[in-house]
Chain A
């Protein structure tokens, strides 16, 4: 039986992604470090993931800025109207 020393790129990129949601276990961190040391493709991926997240968040914020999180006067009145119907 073959002992697998290296995780696959699929597994490594999964951990790269998981890092944004949770703290990796000690073993996972170690395995990922070994993989990234040896694999330039996944190294690029890890860097791109962070950059992509940053850039896309900025785009989303730019798009959201044009309309502040406030109800418009019309919408406000429409809601009041709906609520009063129930009273």
Chain B
């Protein structure tokens, strides 16, 4: 029987191959052996906990159904993660489909003029990231600004800036080219910056006016 395997978060785990395909294997044991590590991997790539848990369950079910296909060349845990990766990609594909149906906002207002200049100049932000993060109002605004991003931009942003996945991995998950990913991330960050400025820093500047006159 395999030993308890610790899998580092965000990396393909390693571990002893289990006695797959043999009689007497109880797949329920996999939940204890690999469940937490798979969940950690999934949580680095999807934000919602219930979704991550569902993906782990789907992965283990698929692994059991397809256990004959595990050939023992890779570590069993690595094989599980490869299944989980596919489940994550499927999830984003489904997510994108429902989102495009529900929103026509892919053409969010362009913050640049046709000549590529800023429509509205960025303001000066006076803030410390660590302090900001502790502030309830900033947390609220940040969460809502991220939610408001057009779906394709939001997916790219959350995977890249809030998750564990590399740009290459994200391109695979979202099934887009690295160039396309770079464009989406740029748009997401520009829109997010604008949203934070108008909903958070704008108000902060108005209430604490002494800092404004610098530009």
- Hey, which bits of chain A sit against chain B, CB under 8 A? 8-11, 13-14, 17-18, 20-22, 40-41, 44-45, 47-49, 51-60, 62-64, 67, 69-71, 75-76, 78-80, 82-84, 86-87
Contact = CB atoms under 8 A, between A and B. Distances in A.
Interface string B153-184: 00000001110000100000000001001110
A62 B129 contact: no
Given A8-B117, A17-B185, A52-B193, A79 B112 contact: no
Nearest to B158: A60
Interface of B: 9, 26-28, 30-32, 35-36, 39-40, 43, 47, 49, 53, 56-57, 60-61, 64-65, 112, 115-118, 121-125, 127, 129-130, 132-134, 138-139, 142-143, 146, 160-162, 167, 178, 181-183, 185-186, 189-190, 192-193, 196, 215
Contact of B186 (A13, A57, A67): A13
Contacts of B64: 83, 86-87
Among B61, B167, B189, find the residue whose CB has the most chain A CB atoms closer than 10 A. Answer: B189
B125 A51 contact: yes
Contacts of A67: 49
Contacts of B118: 9, 41
Nearest to B163: A60
